[in-house]
Amino acid sequence: MGSEGRGGRRRAEGERPRRPEGGQRRRPPEDDPRGREGGRRGAPEGQRRRPPADGERPRRRPEDAEHGARAEGQRRRRPPEDASRPGGRRRPDGPRDPREREHGARSEGGRRRAAAGGGGRGGSGGGRRRRGGEDEPDDRPWWKRFFAKAWKPALAAFGLMIIGGVAVFAFLYAQAPDPGDLDAKADAEMSATQIFWETGDVAVTTGEVRRIEVSYDEIPPHVIDGILAAEQHTFFEDPGISITGIGRALFYRGEVGGGSTITQQMARNYYSDLEGYGTIERKIREIFISIKLGQRMEKEEILERYVNTIYFGRQAMGIEMAARQYFDKSVSELDPAEGAYLGIIIQMPSNFENSELGPWTETYLKEERWPYVQRQLAAMYEENPDRGMPKSEADALAIPDTTQWGPSAEGEEEEAEEEGTEEEFDPKPGYVRDAVVTELVERYDLTADKIATQGYRVETSLNPELMDAAYTAFDTLPGHPEDTRKGLTAINPATGEIVAFRGGEDVGVQLNQSLVERTQAGSSYKPYVLATALSQNISLRTLMNGDSPQEFEGLASPVQNADLQDHGAVDLVESTANSYNTPYVQLAVEVTPAAVDQMAVAAGVDEEQTTTSTQGPLIALGTHQVSALDQATGYATFAADGVHRPAHMVTKVTTSDGTEIFPNDQDLIETGTRAMSAEVAADVTFALTQVVTNGGGTNAALPDGRPVAGKTGTSSGAISAWFVGYVPQLSVAVGLSRADANTGLEFEGISNSEVFGGSTSATVWREFMVQAVDIMELEPQNFPPAANVGTDQNFAPTPSPDPSPSEEPSEEPSEEPSEEPSDVPCDPNNIDPNNPNCEGFETPPDCTFPWDCDDETGEPTPPDDCASRPITDPCHTEGEEDNGGWRPGQGQDNNGRVTILGTRDD
C-alpha cells in the first residue's frame, strides 16, 4: 500500500523525507500516471512549497477513502483541472477558490484528529506522538485551577472597588453640611401638630414647644455625666461614629435600636432632610455628617449643641426647659440623680411625661435603665476620676420624683378667670393628645420631637359625643372612693377603630385608665378558654364537673364556685352563663393554659399581659392583668367572626406639605388576621348571649331588646370588676379597680362581698351603650346562629352504679335519657316540658299584643310588661332579607333564674 499510488517508498519511523541531490524536490515524470490528476499536486509556477517546520510532518497529498489515509467523512474534493497542488505556495494573484479554503480547513482538522490519536498513516493506528507539553492533562486541584484563572480579574475588580469607594466617600463627605449650617437649623421655626376628632373638628394640638439655650459652662459636670452615662459614657474618647453600632443597625435594616453616638444623634436632630431617605441611605448620610462634624468641632461644642436640641417631652426642647418642666428648677440647680433621670428619658420622652409612669415604663426604669446608668457612672470614674462617681455613690442614687405636668384643673381655672368665664376642667384633650402621640410613635415610626415640632395633621376615629358618654356613664354607680379606677374602651369590630375611651381625671397625674392601666381580668378571661376548647373540637354540649370545691394538680388550694355549691354535670353553655369556676379550670387543664394565652393574644390581648401572672390553670379565672383596651379588642374579634384587626384611633397622617404617611400595620388593618374560625366565633357568641339573657350579665340587657353578648368578671376580694360585651357593630369593655391593687372595690350600700361585675360594671356598660346606639345610629342586628362545632365529650365524673336494683332495669333507662340533656340544651325562651334539661324553668307568660309598625322610626316597640320575653319583628315578612331584625331570646332583663351576678375566682 505504501508504494502503490503514493509515488515513493515508505520511510522508516522518524526518518525525514529525502530530497534529490542539490536540494531539489523530485518531480514525477511527465508521463507519470500520478501526475496532476492522480499524484501530488504541484505548486504554481514560480512558487515553492513551504518546507515543514521542525518536528512537523511533511505534507502529503490526500488519498482516496479506499486507501485509508483520511478518516471517514474527511474526503477532499478535487480541485479544477487548472488548480495547483495544495502543497504549493498560494497564488499571488486573486483570492483562493472557496473550495480550496474548505479543503484546507478539512485538511487541518484531519491533522488535529490525527494528532489526537484519531487515525494514523494506516487509517486506524494510534497516531503519531504529541509534542512535549501539548494538551497535557492538568492534575492540579480544582481550586488551584480556579484561582490561577480568577486572581487577576479579582484583583482588578478589587482595585476598581477601592477607587469607587474613595470617590463615593469624597462625594458624600463634600455633600455633608458644614458646622456653620447648624445655626440655621437650630433657629428653624417649629410648628405644633394638630389632632382632629372624627367629625373633622380640632380636638387638641401638641402645643408650643419651648427652648432656652444654655452654654456648656452653665451645665454642671454631674449633669453632663448623667447624660453621658445614659447615652455614651465614652463620648470624649470615641470617634464621631460607632462602627459596631452602625454594622448592627445596617444588618437589621434599622429594626434594632442603638448604634448612634451622641454626634450622630446631634446630626440627626439638626438635619431634618435625613428623614427623606430610606433607612440605609439615611444612616450613610448620617455617618458622613458625623465624620465631618467630628473633625471640625470640639467635643464640648458637639455636646452643647446636642443637649440644647434634644426633645425631652412635656413640650420642652433642650436641657434647660427640661429641668424646669420635670423638676421646676434651672439646669444649674439639678443634682446628680436629676441629671441622670433627664439622660434616661432622652430615648423615650413620651413614656416619661406623666408623673405617674405606666407599668411597662416603671419596670423598665427601675429594673433596666436606672441600674445601667449607675454602672456606667461607676465605670466612667474608674477610667477617669474627673468624670462619673465612685461605685458606692452611684449605687446610692435614688430615682427622683418629678413635678406634676399637664393641663391641670388649676391651670384651666386660671385661664377661665382671665377670660371672665367659669368653665369646668375637661381632662379629655390631654388624654387624647397623649394617646395619639403614643400611637404615632408606635405605628408611624415618628419620633416624639418630630410630632411636637413638624406640624403634622392627624385625623382620628374618636367621636367627641361618645367620649363624653364614656365619662358620664360611670355616674350610674353608687358613691365610691376617689381612687377608684374607671376604664372604658369602645371599638368598631369591622375596622378596629377606637371610637371612645375614658382616660382619667388629669393626664399629668393619672395613667390612662382605659388604654394603659390594667387589673386582673377575673372571669372575663373565660371566653378565651372557651374559644380554645371549641378550636380543639370540644363542643358547647361537652359536660364538665360543676361541683365545688375541687382540687387540681399543681394548685396549692382547692377551687371554689362563687356560690360554693355543687352543680353536677354541666355543659359549657351553662358554665359560661353562670360563670362556674370549677368547670372552666378543668377545661383550661384539658386544652392547656399555653393554648389559652395563645388564643387570647391572637384575639387582641397584648402579649405582655400574659406575663403578669403564672401561666397555669387559674388563668381561666383571670389571674392575668389586662386593660379595657385589651378586652374590647379581644371581644371585637368574636364580634367580627373571628377576624382580628389591630386597635387604633389614628386614621390618617399628613405632613405640613400634604404628603400622607402610612402606618406600619396598614395591611393588617385592611385585611385583618384570622384568630379563629367563623364557626368558633359564632359558638362563643352564642354562649355569651346566654350570660345576658339567663346568667350573671342580665343588667347589661339593652332596653330595645337587641342581641347582646358579654361576660362578667370579678376577682377575689372584688379587686376588680368587669363587664365586656358587644353588639355586632360595637365592642365595649368596662373595668373597675382601685389605685392600690390590693384594695377591694367599695360602693355605698353594697358590701364588698356583694360587688360583682354584673352588678356594677354591667350597669355602666348598659348606660354607655344606650347613648352609643343613639349617637352612632346603630340598627339592631342579629348575631350569626350557633354553628355547633366540635364533638360532644364528657369530662364529668361517671356516677357510681346503684347496687340495689337489678341489672336489667338499670340499663334501659341509662342509655336514652343520658344523651337527651347533652344533645338538646334547654332554651329558657322556649320551654320544652319534654326536655329534662328544662326541669325547674317556669313557663313564660303569654305576651300576645298588637304591634305598631307605622311609627316614625319604623321600629316595633314592645310593651314594658313583656321586656323580659323574646322580641321578634312582626313587620318582617317571610322571604324578606333580614338586615337588622331582633334575634329571639335577647330581651330578658333581671327576671332570670340566676341570682348570682358574677364570679369570684379563688
Q: Give the pLDDT confidence of 642-666 residue by residue, as tens digits.
A: 999 999 999 999 998 899 999 999 9
Of 422 and 120, more confident: 422
| C-beta neighbour count of 779 within 10 angstroms | 14
Residue 157 CA to its chain's centroid (Å): 41
Give the distance between the most distant pair of CA atoms in the chain: 148
Helices (H), 746-902: 761-776, 807-823
Q: Give the pLDDT confidence of 451-475 residue by residue, as tens digits.
A: 988 899 999 999 999 999 999 999 9
Q: Give the pLDDT confidence of 663-711 residue by residue, as tens digits.
A: 999 999 999 999 999 999 999 999 999 999 989 999 999 999 999 999 9
Of 390 and 57, more confident: 390
Query: What are the grid coordinates assigned to 328, written together?
Result: 421646676
Q: Which pLDDT does position 750 carry in this prediction? A: 84
Of 163-167, 487-491, 703-707, 709-713, the one with minimum mean pLDDT is: 163-167
Of 400-409, 497-506, 583-592, 854-863, the one with minimum mean pLDDT is: 854-863
Q: Residues 320, 204: contact at Cβ < 8 Å?
A: no
**707-733 mean pLDDT:** 94
Of 161-170, 385-394, 869-878, the one with minimum mean pLDDT is: 869-878
Of 243 and 298, more confident: 298
Q: How confident is the model at residue 508 (pLDDT cuts 50, 70, 90)?
A: confident
Helix (H, G, I), strand (E, B) or coil at 651: strand
User: How many CA atoms within 13 Å lie on the side-chain side of 808?
Assistant: 0
Q: Residues 737, 631: contact at Cβ < 8 Å?
A: no
- Check pLDDT > 70 for residue 14: no
Using alpha carbons, list the distances in angstroms from residue 12 to 9, 58, 131, 574, 575: 9, 14, 19, 115, 113
Q: Which pLDDT does position 171 carry in this prediction? A: 59
CA distance 625 to 782: 32
CA distance 100 to 732: 98
Using left for φ > 0, alpha for ψ between -120 and 50, and beta otherwise, residue 46 falls in: left
Helix (H, G, I), strand (E, B) or coil at 484: strand
Helix (H, G, I), strand (E, B) or coil at 426: coil
DSSP string, 36-65: TTTSPPPPPTT--PPPPPTTPPPP-----G
CA distance 559 to 547: 10
Kindly compute the dihedral angle of the four CA atoms of residues 430, 433, 436, 440, in this order, to the nearest 10 degrees: -140
Q: Which pLDDT does position 449 carry in this prediction? A: 85
3-state SS of 97-160 is CHHHHHHHHHHHHHHHHHHCCCCCCCCCCCCCCCCCCCCCCCCCCHHHHHHHHHHHHHHHHHHH
- Check pLDDT > 60 for residue 641: yes
- Check pLDDT > 90 for residue 529: yes
Q: How confident is the model at residue 516 (pLDDT cuts 50, 70, 90)?
A: very high
Q: Name the pTM for this structure.
A: 0.68
CA distance 465 to 771: 9
What percent of the chain has a predicted confidence (pLDDT) above 90?
44
Q: Give the burial class of 654: count Cβ atoms within 10 A of its Cβ; 0-12 exposed, 13-18 middle, 19 or more buried.
A: middle
Q: Give the pLDDT confidence of 734-763 residue by residue, as tens digits.
A: 999 998 888 889 999 888 888 899 999 999
- Check pLDDT > 90 for residue 357: no
- Check pLDDT > 50 for residue 128: no
User: How many CA atoms within 13 Å lie on the side-chain side of 478?
Assistant: 10
Only one residue has cell 484561582, namely 147
Q: Which pLDDT does position 844 carry in this prediction? A: 52
CA distance 539 to 868: 28
CA distance 225 to 750: 55
Of 42-51, 286-295, 533-542, 678-687, the one with minimum mean pLDDT is: 42-51
Q: Which pLDDT does position 593 carry in this prediction? A: 95
400, amino acid identity: P
Residues forming a β-bridge with 543: 571, 794
Of 689 and 281, more confident: 689
3-state SS of 782-827 is CCCCCCCCCECCECCCCCCCCCCCCHHHHHHHHHHHHHHHHHCCCC
Only one residue has cell 313564660, namely 844
Q: Give the burial class of 872: count Cβ atoms within 10 A of its Cβ; 0-12 exposed, 13-18 middle, 19 or more buried.
A: middle
Helix (H, G, I), strand (E, B) or coil at 674: strand
Q: How confident is the model at residue 882 (pLDDT cuts 50, 70, 90)?
A: very low
Using left for φ > 0, alpha for ψ between -120 and 50, and beta otherwise, residue 733 falls in: beta
CA distance 744 to 718: 5
Helix or strand (DSSP H, E) at 89: none
Across the chain, what does the average pLDDT equal?
75
Helix or strand (DSSP H, E) at 670: helix 666-671
Q: Which pLDDT does position 778 carry in this prediction? A: 94
Sign of CA dihedral 627, 630, 633, 634: negative
- Check pLDDT > 60 for residue 779: yes
Q: Residues 571, 544: contact at Cβ < 8 Å?
A: yes
Q: How confident is the model at residue 579 (pLDDT cuts 50, 70, 90)?
A: very high
- Check pLDDT > 50 for residue 561: yes
Q: Give the pLDDT confidence of 68-79 residue by residue, as tens digits.
A: 444 444 444 445
Using alpha carbons, list the distances in angstroms from residue 522 to 490, 503, 617, 623: 20, 22, 13, 6
What percent of the chain has a predicted confidence (pLDDT) above 70?
62
Residue 817 CA to its chain's centroid (Å): 52
Q: Give the burial class of 416: count Cβ atoms within 10 A of its Cβ; 0-12 exposed, 13-18 middle, 19 or more buried.
A: middle
3-state SS of 594-645 is HHHHHHHHHHCCCHHHHHCCCCCHHHHHCCCEECHHHHHHHHHHHHCCCEEC
Q: Residues 599, 535: contact at Cβ < 8 Å?
A: yes
Using left for φ > 0, alpha for ψ between -120 and 50, and beta otherwise, residue 235 falls in: alpha
Q: Residues 343, 349: contact at Cβ < 8 Å?
A: no
Residues forming a β-bridge with 569: 545
CA distance 841 to 828: 7
Query: What are the grid coordinates assigned to 293, written together?
Result: 462634624
Query: What are the grid coordinates assigned to 158, written together?
Result: 478589587
Cis omega (within 30 of 0) for bond into 862: no
Q: How confident is the model at residue 154 (pLDDT cuts 50, 70, 90)?
A: confident
Q: Give the pLDDT confidence of 796-847 residue by residue, as tens digits.
A: 887 655 544 444 444 444 333 333 333 444 454 455 565 555 555 455 544 4
